[in-house]
C-alpha cells in the first residue's frame, strides 16, 4: 500500500471536516501525534540543519534571542492554464501526499496530469527530490484548507528532540538557520484551480524583528500583520513559484465549491510519511459555529 497516493471518488457529503483552531494541523503542528514517529530518521542534509539550535545545545543557553529577519518573498506567476470546471475537479480522482513526481504523473487524473506536465517546464532540478502534494476539497463559504491562516514559510527547519525540550518546547522552527544557512532553501511550484479560496503571498522583501527559534508561527504572523505588507492572491488556475523564504497564508473560502490544489517541492530532504499527516491531508477546517 502506498500512502502517498489516494484514489477515491469524491462527493460533498464525504468531505472530511474538522473544527478550525488556528493551531496549524499538519504544518508545524505542536499537537501530540496520534502514532509514534518511526525511529529511523532521514539523513540530515545541510538544507535542514538546525545550526542555531545546535549552537544553543553546545553552549547550554536557555534564553532565545531575536534577530532582524529579512524574507526575500519570491513570488512569480509562471503560467496560467484554462480554469477547470467543477466537474473536472471533482472527478479527477487521485491526490498525492509527498509523492515523487514521476510516480505522481503516472498515477494522476487528467486534470492533475496536465498541471504536472506544465510544472515540469519550470523545475529547477537542483535538489535530490521532487515531491508532489495535492488536494481536492469541497469548501463551504468560510472553510479554510488548513488549520491556520497565519503568515508562514514552507519547508521550515522544524525540530522535535531533546534539544528543543531543554528550551521548554515540543517543537521549534530554526528561523535563523533557514535565513542564514549556506544551503539554498527548498523551492516550490503551486497550482490552485479557482479564486474562491486563493493563497495570499507577500510580494516584496520584508524585514521583521523576531525570535530566532519559534515554537509556531503565531508571533511572526502578528508582526507581519502589523507591517501590513503588499500581497497578492494567487490567480485562478495559475502556477506560481516561491521558496522557503516566501511568506504566504491560507485564506477562508469566499463561496462554496470544489478546489484542486497542487504543490511541487524540490528539496534535498527525504520525506518519510507520518500517519498523522496522511490522516489529515485533504481535511477542510470550519469554525465550530458554522458546523
CB distance 217 to 24 below 8 Å: yes
Residue 280 is predicted with a pLDDT of 81
Q: Taking the mean position of all CA atoms in its chain, how far away is CA 133?
A: 9
Q: pLDDT tens-digit profile of 147-177?
A: 999 999 999 999 999 999 999 999 999 999 9
Residue 39: per-residue pLDDT: 46
Q: What is the pLDDT of residues 36-47, one digit of tens each?
A: 455 467 789 999
E strands within 104-154? Answer: 129-139
DSSP conformation class of 33: P
| CB count in 10 Å sphere of residue 107 | 19
Cα gap 282→129, rounded to integer Å: 23
pLDDT of residue 189: 98
| Separation between Cα atoms, residue 260 and residue 138, nearest integer Å | 9
Residues in contact with 42: Cβ distance below 8 Å, sequence separation at least 6, in sequence order: 269, 270, 271, 272
Which of 207, 245, 203, 200 lies closest to 226 in space, CA to CA?
207
The reported pLDDT for the residue numbered 290 is: 59
pLDDT in tens, the chain (291 residues): 588 999 999 999 999 999 999 887 444 444 554 544 554 677 899 999 999 999 999 999 999 999 999 999 999 999 999 999 999 999 999 999 999 999 999 999 999 999 999 999 999 999 999 999 999 999 999 999 999 999 999 999 999 999 999 999 999 999 999 999 999 999 999 999 999 999 999 999 999 999 999 999 999 999 999 999 999 999 999 999 999 999 999 999 999 999 999 999 999 999 988 777 777 889 999 987 655
Q: Give the whole-angstrom CA distance, residue 237 versus residue 82.
A: 6
What's the pLDDT at 63? Answer: 96
> 105, 91, 102, 99: which is closest to 136 by C-alpha?
91
Percentage of the chain with pLDDT > 90? 86
Instruction: Report which of 189, 203, 80 is spatially closest to residue 151, judged by C-alpha positions.
Output: 203
Q: All 3 cell numbers of residue 19?
A: 473544527
Residue 123: its pLDDT value, please?
A: 98
| Cα dihedral 133/224/51/158 (nearest 10) | -40
Amino acid at each position: 500500500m502506498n500512502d502517498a497516493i489516494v484514489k477515491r471518488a469524491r462527493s460533498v457529503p464525504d468531505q472530511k471536516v474538522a473544527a478550525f483552531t488556528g493551531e496549524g494541523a499538519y504544518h508545524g503542528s505542536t499537537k501530540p501525534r496520534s502514532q509514534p514517529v518511526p525511529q529511523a530518521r532521514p539523513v540530515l542534509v545541510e538544507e535542514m540543519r538546525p545550526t542555531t539550535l545546535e549552537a544553543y545545545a553546545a553552549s547550554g543557553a536557555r534564553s532565545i534571542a531575536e534577530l532582524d529577519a529579512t524574507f526575500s518573498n519570491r513570488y512569480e506567476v509562471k503560467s496560467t492554464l484554462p480554469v477547470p470546471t467543477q466537474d473536472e475537479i471533482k472527478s479527477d480522482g487521485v491526490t498525492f501526499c509527498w509523492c515523487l513526481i514521476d510516480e505522481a504523473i503516472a498515477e494522476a487524473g487528467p486534470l492533475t496530469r496536465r498541471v504536472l506536465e506544465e510544472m515540469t517546464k519550470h523545475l529547477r532540478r537542483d535538489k535530490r527530490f521532487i515531491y508532489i502534494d495535492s488536494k481536492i476539497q469541497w469548501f463551504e463559504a468560510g472553510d479554510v484548507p488548513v488549520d491556520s491562516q497565519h503568515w508562514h514559510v514552507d519547508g521550515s527547519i522544524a525540530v522535535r528532540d531533546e534539544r528543543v525540550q531543554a528550551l521548554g518546547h515540543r517543537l521549534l522552527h530554526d528561523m535563523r538557520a533557514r535565513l542564514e544557512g549556506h544551503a539554498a532553501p527548498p523551492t516550490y511550484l503551486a497550482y490552485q484551480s479557482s479564486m474562491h479560496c486563493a493563497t495570499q503571498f507577500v510580494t516584496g522583501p520584508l524585514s521583521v524583528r523576531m525570535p530566532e527559534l519559534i515554537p509556531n508561527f503565531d508571533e511572526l504572523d502578528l508582526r507581519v500583520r502589523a507591517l501590513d505588507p503588499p500581497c497578492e492572491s494567487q490567480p485562478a488556475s495559475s502556477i506560481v513559484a516561491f521558496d522557503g523564504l516566501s511568506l504566504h497564508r491560507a485564506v477562508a473560502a469566499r463561496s462554496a465549491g470544489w478546489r484542486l490544489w497542487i504543490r511541487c517541492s524540490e528539496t534535498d530532504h527525504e520525506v518519510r510519511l507520518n500517519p498523522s499527516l496522511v490522516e489529515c491531508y485533504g481535511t477542510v477546517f470550519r469554525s465550530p459555529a458554522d458546523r
